[in-house]
A and B are shown apart, each in its own frame.
Chain A
């Protein structure tokens, strides 16, 4: 039981470490928050079509609606002349509000309450198996979802390693060097929306953002190389899951919030230590 919960969380951390590192360095990590909230209308529509909470339709529509949010935010700020924060603010709040309306309007006949949207249901992970009669029944459905998306992230990060590093560092140079910047951004956001959709289920809309930002930011304080940034982010995520879950188990608390708290604490410790070591240069060893 516990093992399945921890494994699910660990697999989520791999995705969040990769996606979070890219988005933190590209300075658009708050997009994750917007995308996490924009999942809601898609979730409800998927639920209405499939009649179940964890069917592939739900994941598909939720993914589409969060990707659409990222797309709209970007286009509005690019062509509409609206500030990025402003377009982020109004796109995701509108979509989230629309989602809430759908949930409450359909209230009685839908097993989706605002609570589980905000907090997720990590503890229910081990109880949701498929019943297809094949090897797919061996692991809970949420875990399979994490595995597929996790593998997609790893494939993406490894195969596009050089392009990602160059794009994250210097977009102008990347464009002049025939690196397909638009494609990389679309892939990053697409995979991020998949991560959010599979993570949403377990952690809820708000905690997902913590997992994208905290490990990647801790890594940013320490790393001097691209590869070490990604690995430190993953390791920080793993530690947060391990310690957070132990804490939740010991004191009978919700595991998701415990993990995020531990992650925040780790970030704080690293920041303070770095600052003591280099009092003149903020939290980072260099300038």
Chain B
């Protein structure tokens, strides 16, 4: 269970969030959706404990989030780092194996094997010796995902992992995520694409700096809620809902190309 109580944030460059309050059972595959600037990333970063809330708190499995950092793994946005950084693919994945008590420059044999295993899972093992700047956007995202998986955490938090990613990488990422979910883990993911949101997630959090709705996808993803969040013309949204109702699969495929 993830519970967010009366959460309000608003500090520096971050979008403010007002009085967010919901709880969602875990394990589940949760999507955070909403228009640009609605506070999706801010909510994710507050869940990670990177941003301190002004009021309210978040608990995970009944415990405050600060005590659970070793059970969380984070996939940041691609543009949050400098890809010219002198580091190779395998080194990046090994960062996921960092333990608080580890000392000195070397990783254990086990850590290296695990890192390679997860690099293989995202289909990037052949690139392990490449400098990260040589990779494409989709490949970079897969490396970030492998690094998060290498944490072997219970909850994976991703910030728009499909943004700027080619179709093949996108498909690979979704496959890995669904495999991860089948192992009984939870995923919380910021997502910008309404077309795929309904079919991807079993729970949705719909934001517009306030909480519009949160809960099981069928209850959240309806015309009224989407209109509240996006304020778009009713006809466009109802079109969207109709199309999704008729053939969600064709739409999913179309949007990932």
Contacts and interface: CB of A to CB of B under 8 A. Distances in A.
B95 A166 contact: yes
Given A166-B98, A170-B95, A176-B49, A286 B84 contact: yes
A200 to B, nearest CB: 29
B105 A224 contact: no
A32 B73 CA distance: 34
A158 B105 contact: yes
Interface in A148-175: 158-159, 161-163, 165-166, 168-170, 172-173, 175
Nearest to B47: A176
A162 B105 contact: yes
Interface stretch (A49-57, A60-68, A225-233, A258-266): A225-233
A177 B95 contact: yes
Q: Which of B91, B92, B102, B104 has the most CB of A within 10 A?
A: B91
B246 interface: no
A225 B80 contact: no
Contacts of A225: 86-88, 91
B87 A176 contact: no
Interface string A161-203: 1110110111011011111000000000000000000000000
Contacts of B104: 158-159, 161-162
Interface residues of A, number: 33
Contacts of A286: 83-84, 131, 133-134
A284 interface: yes
B40 interface: no
Main secondary structure of the interface of A (DSSP, over half): helix
Given A159-B103, A162-B98, A177-B95, A224 B84 contact: no
Interface in B198-248: none
A206 interface: no
Nearest to A25: B85
Interface string B106-143: 01000000000000000000000001011000000000
Contacts of B85: 25, 168-169
A223 interface: yes
B2 to A, nearest CB: 16
Interface in A59-85: 81
Interface in A231-287: 284-287
B48 A224 contact: no
Contact of B107 (A162, A168, A224): A162
A163 B94 CA distance: 11
Contact of A170 (B80, B103, B151): B80
B118 to A, nearest CB: 15
A175 B72 CA distance: 11
Contacts of A228: 86
Interface string B69-81: 1101110100011
Contacts of B192: none
Contact of B102 (A162, A169, A170, A229): A162
Contact of A287 (B74, B84, B86, B103): B84
Contact of B87 (A179, A226, A285, A287): A226
Nearest to B50: A175
B48 to A, nearest CB: 5
Contacts of B134: 286-287
Nearest to B144: A173
B98 A177 contact: yes
A227 B105 CA distance: 9
Interface of B: 12, 45, 48-50, 69-70, 72-74, 76, 80-88, 91-92, 94-96, 98, 100, 102-105, 107, 131, 133-134, 147, 151, 157
Report, nearest first, the 7 A-B pairs whose CB atoms are least far apart: A286-B133, A161-B105, A176-B74, A223-B86, A224-B131, A229-B86, A166-B95
Given A159-B104, A162-B107, A177-B95, 14 more contacts: A81-B12, A159-B103, A161-B105, A162-B105, A173-B74, A173-B147, A176-B74, A176-B157, A224-B86, A225-B88, A285-B131, A286-B134, A287-B84, A287-B133
24 contacts: A25-B85, A162-B95, A162-B102, A162-B104, A165-B87, A165-B91, A166-B98, A169-B92, A170-B81, A172-B45, A172-B74, A172-B76, A173-B76, A173-B95, A175-B50, A176-B69, A176-B74, A176-B157, A178-B70, A179-B98, A226-B86, A226-B87, A227-B105, A286-B133
